[in-house]
Amino acid sequence: MKIHEIQAYLERYFDKVELVGSSDTTIDGPAKIEDATKGKVSFVANEKYIRFIGSTKASLLIVGEKTPTPQYSDRLNFLKVKDPYTAFVFVLQKFSAPRVIAAPGVCSSAVIGENVTLGENVSIGEHVVIGDHCIIGDNTVIGPNTVLMERVAVGRDCMLFPNIVCYDGTVLGDRVTIHSGTVVGADGFGFAPQPDGAYIKIPQMGIVEIHDDVEIGSNNTIDRATMGSTVIERGAKIDNLVQIAHNCRIGENTVIASQAGISGSVTIGKHCMIGGQAGFAGHLSIPDRTHVAAKTGVSKSTHKCGQTLRGIPAQPIRDQLRQEALLRSLDKMKQKLDALEREVREMRQGEEGKSQRSRGKKSV
């Protein structure tokens, strides 16, 4: 693409895209700013990467509106936008080639059950198993070795990578992406303890509902509800290796990083950000726009929207950082206390010595 073509493409998404340099230079692909060569496009969205502007060999950089550029314009071209990170994402989409997960049509090795409804332009890969009464929407792609059990409904334009299992009754909306190794709809962890120490399994009679535009990473486990539904709302993004237990509800456009664990019947609000390895106790709720830092242990519900939680147990980040600073100072505090104890001890010994001498004079 010529730079003027990239500029016109970005103007679909941004009110203003300012060009500094030549509009006719040819760009053949994206690259990291430190590794880019002639003909490549990169970006600067973080101040720590500004230092690479002077040394990069890229032909085009997408930068912020206030990023200084004139001193480099004789050898490097710029497109200045309000949000260079998002702009570069659009450029990546433009240059990326579509992934081939399964050939068009239904592979001869696939096993299709009875009363299955297939939409138009569906692709079903090798050794896929689709149970009875399933519904697959238009333009959906199902990768090799994926299993859909009975009465699974998959919407339009979905992408299911190889080796996924969707248990019976699972419902996927439109434009849902699920990566390899994920299991959707397995039984929730429900067992009733008995007086003799044994456990009776609680039937898991609900389903999992995944709404439109959700992306789920590899090796996730999303458990079906005991009754009702486990729900992942529209636009949520879930990283690899996340556990979501039965009867949870994950809010719209919430993002969850790798290795987070969410216990049963937890409700997480809209537009939340959950850090890696965060853990949630059961039957609690988190309001909209809450940020939960990595490794945080959330043990009770919170009600204030928009705050950041950190630590074990979770608390507002300023309180937790203050306590953490105090913990780092414990050694110095102990040294001061030890010195005070010695001083007090010496004062007491001195007073006792004076008292003994005084009693000795009186007795004489």
109 and 79 both lie in a single domain = no
C-alpha span between 171 and 168 (Å, rounded): 9
> Is residue 87 very low, low, confident or very high in pLDDT (cuts 50, 70, 90)?
very high
275 and 142 both lie in a single domain = yes
Omega cis (within 30) before 104: no
pLDDT at 364 over 60: no
Instruction: Please check whether residue 235 is in contact with residue 216, taking contact to mean a CB–CB distance below 8 angstroms.
Output: no
The pLDDT tens digits for 166-215 are 999 999 999 999 999 999 999 999 999 999 999 999 999 999 999 999 99
With respect to residue 114, please indicate whether it lies within any of the assigned structural domains.
yes
Picking from 95, 130, 161, the residue at the C-terminal end of a domain is: 95
Among all residues, which ones are annotated catalytic? 246
CATH code: domain of residue 62: 3.40.1390.10
pLDDT at 70 over 90: no
Picking from 95, 126, 147, the residue at the C-terminal end of a domain is: 95
pTM of the model: 0.87
State the chain's mean pLDDT as an integer. 94
110 and 190 both lie in a single domain = yes
Instruction: Please check whether residue 130 is in contact with residue 117, taking contact to mean a CB–CB distance below 8 angstroms.
Output: no
CATH code: domain of residue 278: 2.160.10.10
Q: What is the pLDDT of residue 47?
A: 85
Alpha carbon of 17 to those of 63, 82, 88, 128, 213: distances in Å?
10, 8, 12, 46, 28
With respect to residue 143, please indicate whether it lies within any of the assigned structural domains.
yes
The b/e string for 305-317 (b: 16+ C-beta within 10 A; e otherwise) is: eebbbbbeebbeb
With respect to residue 124, please indicate whether it lies within any of the assigned structural domains.
yes
Q: What would the mean pLDDT of 57-71 be, rounded to a whole number?
A: 89
C-alpha span between 86 and 243 (Å, rounded): 29
C-alpha span between 356 and 259 (Å, rounded): 68
78 and 155 both lie in a single domain = no
The b/e string for 225-263 (b: 16+ C-beta within 10 A; e otherwise) is: bbeebbbbbbbbbbbbbbbbbbbbbbbbbbbbbbbbebb
The pLDDT tens digits for 93-118 are 999 988 889 999 999 999 999 999 99
Neighbours of 165 (CB within 10 A): 17
With respect to residue 83, please indicate whether it lies within any of the assigned structural domains.
yes
With respect to residue 205, please indicate whether it lies within any of the assigned structural domains.
yes
The pLDDT tens digits for 223-235 are 999 999 999 999 9
Provide the residue type at 201 as one letter: K
What's the CA dihedral at 75, 93, 236, 104 to 10 degrees? Answer: -160
21 and 155 both lie in a single domain = no
Q: What is the pLDDT of residue 362?
A: 61
Count of CA atoms in the C-beta half-sphere (13 A) of 202: 14
49 and 160 both lie in a single domain = no
24 and 119 both lie in a single domain = no
pLDDT at 363 over 70: no
75 and 119 both lie in a single domain = no
Number of structural domains the chain divides into: 2
With respect to residue 58, please indicate whether it lies within any of the assigned structural domains.
yes
118 and 78 both lie in a single domain = no
Q: What would the mean pLDDT of 267-277 be, rounded to a whole number?
A: 98
Q: By residue range, what is the domain housing residue 17?
A: 3-95
C-alpha span between 217 and 131 (Å, rounded): 24
With respect to residue 206, please indicate whether it lies within any of the assigned structural domains.
yes
| Burial class, 113, CB count within 10 angstroms (exposed 0-12 / middle 13-18 / buried 19+) | middle
Picking from 32, 67, 95, the residue at the C-terminal end of a domain is: 95
Q: What is the pLDDT of residue 351?
A: 78
Count of CA atoms in the C-beta half-sphere (13 A) of 310: 11
pLDDT at 356 over 80: no
69 and 186 both lie in a single domain = no
272 and 141 both lie in a single domain = yes
| Burial class, 50, CB count within 10 angstroms (exposed 0-12 / middle 13-18 / buried 19+) | middle
C-alpha span between 216 and 201 (Å, rounded): 28
274 and 163 both lie in a single domain = yes
Q: What is the pLDDT of residue 136?
A: 98
SS3 content of the chain, % helix, strand, coil (to 5): 20, 25, 55
With respect to residue 364, please indicate whether it lies within any of the assigned structural domains.
no
Q: What is the pLDDT of residue 359?
A: 67
For 9, residues 6+ apart whose C-beta sits below 8 A from its C-beta are 1, 90, 91, 94
C-alpha span between 358 and 168 (Å, rounded): 93
Angle, alpha carbons 131-209-103 (nearest 5°): 50
